[in-house]
């Protein structure tokens, strides 16, 4: 059932709205026409097309649209597949006054944003995230990219959306694993500074996560927090790096796994546990707060997978992380819950020690 929607403004007067709530899809139909004066490309995942296409695509009825149905899977977020999509966009008649609408999870959001950033030197992009992960994280902030063999999101750009429509009613069909993927990013936001979200998650039982009011609060709180961080550091020259908590280790695990057998949420949850342990071992994070943060990750069973790689191998892949500088690995660490720090070099021996036995 549709309900009231709320708006979060990102980047102020020159920025964009994120519309959150059951019923937010109605905003798509009212606003999309403002951003395209020519044919519009809808990049939509196959699963979402099959489940929700009949509901979402008619919202764009006043636009002259062409749909590009994207196969599911991180492996399609690649330069080779982007080349195919660019050829399709040209053949479909898109021009410099066109727009791109990305409908799906984080892979589709990253990919559609990448296409929009580069085609004809830049087109507006509207994100319609359909997973909890995309709603709480990847649809906001303008980071778009594709993967190469060396690692995830190595080739990309900053290209802010013109609008984000996060209709939480779309989450009703989401599998449990995908709910946990998004919940991981919400826990991340809670641990690095979103106090109201931390309090909400601490009083929420695992079985209550799918309740509409909980999902709505989770998305709204995460978007508001991330939007504030992005507003203070749009291009990640400084404090925006705190949003990568758990990701230095997490991305290494995903890359080593070739993006199979471990979800993004599981990788980041394992990464958060590792970076919490590193923070404690370095004398930065008190034992009690380290345990409290670990317990929140474990409460929702977010890191429920075994790691089959040895620690030296993980550290080798951490060297490719974009936040590194001066030849040193610099994960986001915590001085306390809600007190993230970044740009601190950590010796590889310290990283290996913290991860040894942590996930056995």
Q: Which residue has the tokens 């939007």?
A: 227
Catalytic option among 240, 277, 317, 330: 240
Catalytic annotation present for 121: yes
Nearest to 234 by CA among 15, 13, 8: 15
Catalytic option among 159, 188, 224, 264: 264
Catalytic option among 152, 189, 251, 280: 251
Catalytic annotation present for 240: yes
Distance from C-alpha of 292 to C-alpha of 298, rounded to nearest angstrom: 10
Catalytic annotation present for 235: no
How does DSSP assign 33-56, residue by residue? GGG-SS-EEEEEEHHHHHHHHHHH
Catalytic option among 178, 185, 275, 289: 185
Catalytic annotation present for 244: yes
Cβ atoms of 320 and 353 within 8 Å: the answer is no
Distance from C-alpha of 129 to C-alpha of 171, rounded to nearest angstrom: 10
Secondary structure letter of residue 150 according to DSSP: T
Catalytic annotation present for 180: no
Catalytic annotation present for 247: yes
Catalytic option among 244, 254, 275, 330: 244
Distance from C-alpha of 224 to C-alpha of 216, rounded to nearest angstrom: 12
Catalytic option among 127, 226, 273, 280: 226
Catalytic option among 49, 77, 189, 247: 247
Catalytic option among 121, 203, 260, 306: 121
Catalytic annotation present for 7: no
Catalytic annotation present for 143: yes
Catalytic annotation present for 185: yes
Catalytic option among 194, 236, 254, 289: 236
- Distances in Å between the Cα of 112 and the Cα atoms of 45, 117, 122, 179 are 11, 9, 12, 22
63-87 burial code (b ≥16 CB/10 A, e <16):
bebbbbebeeebebbbeebbeebee
Q: Which residue has the tokens 């609060």?
A: 217
Nearest to 271 by CA among 183, 155, 145, 359: 359
Catalytic option among 49, 143, 189, 317: 143
The catalytic residues are 121, 143, 185, 226, 236, 240, 244, 247, 251, 264
């Amino acid at each position: 059932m549709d309900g009231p929607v709320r708006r979060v403004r990102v980047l102020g007067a020159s920025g964009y709205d994120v519309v959150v709530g059951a019923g937010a899809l109605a905003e798509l139909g009212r606003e999309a026409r403002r951003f395209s004066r020519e044919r519009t490309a809808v990049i939509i995942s196959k699963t979402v097309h099959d489940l929700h296409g009949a509901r979402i695509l008619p919202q764009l009825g006043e636009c002259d649209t062409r749909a590009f149905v994207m196969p599911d899977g991180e492996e399609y977020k690649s330069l080779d597949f982007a080349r195919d999509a660019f050829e399709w966009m040209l053949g479909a008649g898109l021009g410099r006054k066109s727009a791109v609408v990305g409908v799906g999870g984080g892979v589709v959001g990253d990919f559609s944003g990448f296409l929009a950033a580069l085609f004809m030197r830049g087109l507006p992009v509207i994100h319609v995230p359909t997973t909890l992960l995309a709603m709480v994280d990847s649809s906001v902030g303008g980071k778009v990219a594709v993967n190469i063999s060396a690692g995830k999101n190595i080739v990309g750009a900053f290209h802010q959306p013109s609008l984000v429509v996060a209709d939480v009613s779309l989450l009703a069909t989401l599998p449990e694993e995908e709910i946990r993927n998004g919940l991981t990013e919400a826990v991340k936001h809670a641990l690095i500074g979103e106090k109201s979200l931390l309090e909400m998650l601490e009083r929420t039982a695992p079985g209550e996560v799918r309740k509409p009011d909980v999902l709505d609060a989770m998305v709204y709180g995460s978007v508001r927090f991330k939007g504030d961080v992005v507003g203070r550091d749009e291009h990640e020259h400084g404090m925006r790096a705190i949003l990568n908590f758990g990701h230095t280790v997490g991305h290494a695990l995903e890359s080593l796994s070739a993006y199979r057998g471990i979800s993004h949420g599981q990788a980041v949850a394992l990464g958060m546990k590792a970076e919490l342990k590193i923070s404690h071992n370095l004398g930065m994070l008190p034992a009690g707060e380290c345990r409290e943060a670990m317990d929140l990750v474990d409460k929702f069973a977010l890191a429920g997978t075994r790691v089959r790689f040895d620690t030296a191998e993980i550290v080798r892949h951490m060297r490719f992380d974009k936040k590194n500088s001066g030849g040193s690995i610099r994960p986001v660490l915590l001085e306390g819950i809600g007190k993230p720090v970044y740009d601190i070099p950590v010796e590889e021996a310290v990283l290996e020690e913290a991860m040894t036995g942590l996930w056995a």
